[in-house]
Chain A
Amino acid sequence: MKTSSSKKQKKENKTPLTLEKALTGIAGLDEVTGGGLPKGRPTLVCGEAGSGKTMMSIEFIVRGATQFNEPGVIMTFEERAEELAVNVTSLGFNLEKLQAEKKLRVDYVHISRTEIQETGEYDLDGLFIRLGHAIDSVKAKRVVLDTIENLFGGLENEGILRAELRRLFTWLKDKGVTSIITGERGEGRLTRHGLEEYVSDCVILLDHRVVNQISTRRMRIVKYRGTLHGTNEYPFLIDEDGIAILPVTSLNLNKETTSERMSSGITTIDGMLGGKGFFKGSSILVSGTAGTGKTSIASNFVDGACKNKQRCLYFAFEEPPQQIIRNMRSISIDLDKHVKAGLLKFNAARPTLYGLEMHLVAIHKEIQKFKPSVVVIDPITNFISVGTLSEVKNMLIRLIDFLQNEQITVMFTALTLNDVVNDQTDEAISSLVDTWLLIRDIESNGERNRGMYVMKSRGMNHSNQVREFVISDEGLELISVYVGPDGILTGSAREAQMLQEETGAAIHNYALSRKDREIMRKRKVLESKIASLNSEFESVEEELNKVYEEEELRKQILSKNREAMQTIRRGSQKNDELQSVKK
């Protein structure tokens, strides 16, 4: 604690000593320069014709006037004030309005050698006075001299000119204005007339290169005295919002990570990924051969995210958006709805439209504008047509870095051909992504089916199974493939196998029910047998009972008879005696 606070104090004490910087307001330039151009000092912006020197300097002035309340002066040696105003209207800069508001002054310095004769000693006090007057009239804090080297074309006496330029830059410093001096790139040196000798605080080099017929604008800070700055070449873009520079290489790997999950939009895929789907802010690669449904997976993902009210940005590098929307309708995904709701935005461009770096810049810009939570890039493999493998990989690293910093979940699709170069593409980037879904063709029995598996998925317990990936009118579905003695069965072979199994089951069922019936019959037979035995038993019993009853009856009758006999014999006792004698 103690050390840190003392360090802080030291820093605070040092602050007045460090170079003060003036924010330019140009997207990315302030990051690259670590806070802008040196305040109160001249900066040299040099580059070839058409490299964007004028654009950059005018944006510096306009942003200063509009965003930082620092009025500016543009002294142009090339274009008339009106021409200049027209040229930058396309960037949304209204120079005339700024001039009316006294925030800007444009002074066109016309020099033509044919009109001017030189004789004897002179100096450029006229120019100083003009500039001074312009600065004072709007209380300017920023000055642009574009392109002061034109003086070399208009004046013969280079000795005087050089001396005067040196004096001019010192004078600008004394005035305390932050200024940009533009200069045309010369052979073997930064500027044609060696302006870099005079302006030594900060030198920015703009470049416009054409590689493989694709042009890329780049900028580099050649020197920035007394401060740390990015030393790389940074690509930049000039579009309707002005200049956008991309600090392309992020140096750290310490990004925030979350264990929040988001659905892939397909339940069965979520199931393969531990049941919850992707990690939020992770990167997903879907690779597969042509026509395996990569775009469909991506669309499903987007659809699912949009249904959860998340904003999605879809970069289509292969198909126009309308076509994707139409195609996805056939598998009952309505993307149009999300587009209309403003949740989904398509951004379609041919990869060959501009170079890789420019794509990166364009993607950055779009993302920063739209602020999505899901980004789809479909497909990345098309980039190989604008750059080499390592360049594509580099670009993707930077893109993933950026997206992870912003906690944006990104899904890339990659086309795999049975082609060495492209195969390498997904290998090359596979180490960068967190989740890799691979769709493979399974070709057998004269048909082609899709098999999908999770190649890798960092930080989750994912399925190791190959699933058959079926696209139907109802949407996407993953079916467990049939693994039989003949290997993996897919498509109609699987169907056939399933049918066969169903038949087997039916037969089995039939057999079972027949046995049941037989048992029933047996039972019935036995039961009837039991019934007949019962009745037989009853008849026997009855028979037996009959004998018994007859006996009984006879006994009764006999005894009755005996009684009757006795009564009869009562009259004749002799008989009785007789009888007893007999006994």
Chain B
Amino acid sequence: MKTEDKKWELRLYIAGQTEKSVTALNNLRRYCEEHLKGQYKIEVIDLLRKPQLAEGDQILATPTLVRKVPEPIRKIIGDLSNEEKVLVGLNIIPA
């Protein structure tokens, strides 16, 4: 399966395995399974290990979810606890 085939490319920036990042990742996986099954790819970047990547995507807060594809880029920060906000934010469901 090639990445180009995926309709959704998501990147989650975290700073270590904190409670917030674990919650965020779990939440994200759950929403994707529910709404985008088979069409998504999640990449988790730990900034503690790769700090140089923070600048590229203009990351300030952690955790930050970045929707790389489809364009335009969208960002959602926080532990993604509000499902509706995340789905609207990612434009999975219309606002």
Q: Are B76 and A117 in contact (CB under 8 A)?
A: yes
Contacts of B54 in A (CB 8 A): 126, 129-130, 133
Sample of 30 A–B contacts (CB below 8 Å): A115-B73, A115-B75, A116-B76, A117-B86, A118-B77, A118-B78, A118-B85, A119-B79, A119-B82, A120-B20, A121-B79, A121-B81, A122-B20, A122-B63, A122-B64, A122-B78, A122-B79, A124-B60, A125-B16, A126-B15, A126-B64, A128-B15, A129-B15, A129-B47, A129-B62, A130-B55, A133-B52, A133-B55, A151-B60, A155-B61
Which residues of chain A are near B79, meaning CB under 8 Å? 119-122
Q: In the bound complex, what is the Cα–Cα distance between A76 and B70 (angstroms)? A: 29
Instruction: Say whether A117 contacts B75, CB under 8 Å.
Output: yes
B74 within 8 Å of A by Cβ? yes
Q: Which of A118, A129, A154 has the most CB of B within 10 A?
A: A129
Q: Is the CB of A117 within 8 A of B89?
A: yes
Q: With a CB–CB cut-off of 8 A, which chain A residues contact B63?
A: 122
A126 touching B61 by the CB < 8 A rule?
yes
With contacts A115-B74, A125-B62, A151-B60 taken as known, whether A120 is within 8 angstroms of B82 at the C-beta atoms is yes
Q: B20: which A residues are within 8 A, CB to CB?
A: 120-123
Q: Does B59 contact A (CB under 8 A)?
A: yes
Q: What is the 8 Å Cβ interface bit string for chain A, positions 152-178, against chain B (1 contact, 0 not)? A: 001100000000000000000000000
Q: Does B93 contact A (CB under 8 A)?
A: no
Q: A119-B80, A125-B62 given. 9 additional CB < 8 A pairs? A: A115-B73, A117-B85, A120-B20, A122-B64, A122-B78, A126-B59, A126-B62, A128-B15, A155-B60
Chain B: interface residue total (CB-CB under 8 A)? 33
Number of A residues near B (Cβ < 8 Å) is 25
| A122-B61 Cα distance, complex, nearest whole Å | 6
Write the residues of chain A forming the contact surface with B, with a CB cutoff of 8 angstroms: 107, 109-111, 115-130, 132-133, 151, 154-155
In the bound complex, residues from chain A placing their C-beta under 8 Å from that of B86 are 117, 119
Which residues of chain A are within 8 angstroms of B73 by Cβ–Cβ distance? 115
B10 within 8 A of A: no
Is B58 close to A, CB under 8 A? Answer: yes
A130 to B80, CA, bound (A): 22
Q: Which residues of A contact B38 (CB under 8 A)?
A: none
**A379–B55 alpha-carbon span in the complex (Å):** 57
The answer on a CB contact under 8 Å between A111 and B60 is yes
Closest-by-CB residue of A relative to B90 is: A117
Are B74 and A117 within 8 A (Cβ)? yes
Whether the pair B23, A120 counts as a contact (CB closer than 8 A) is yes
Within the complex, what minimum Cβ distance (angstroms) separates A226 from chain B? 32
Residue of B at shortest CB range from A164? B61
Question: Nearest-CB distance from B26 to chain A (Å)?
Answer: 12
Query: Does B94 belong to the interface (CB within 8 Å)?
Result: no
Taking the nearest CB of chain B, how far is it from the CB of A50, in angstroms?
A: 26
In the bound complex, CA of A125 to CA of B64 (Å):
10
Contact residues in B for A107 (Cβ distance below 8 Å): 55
- CB-defined contacts of A124 to chain B, threshold 8 Å: 60-62
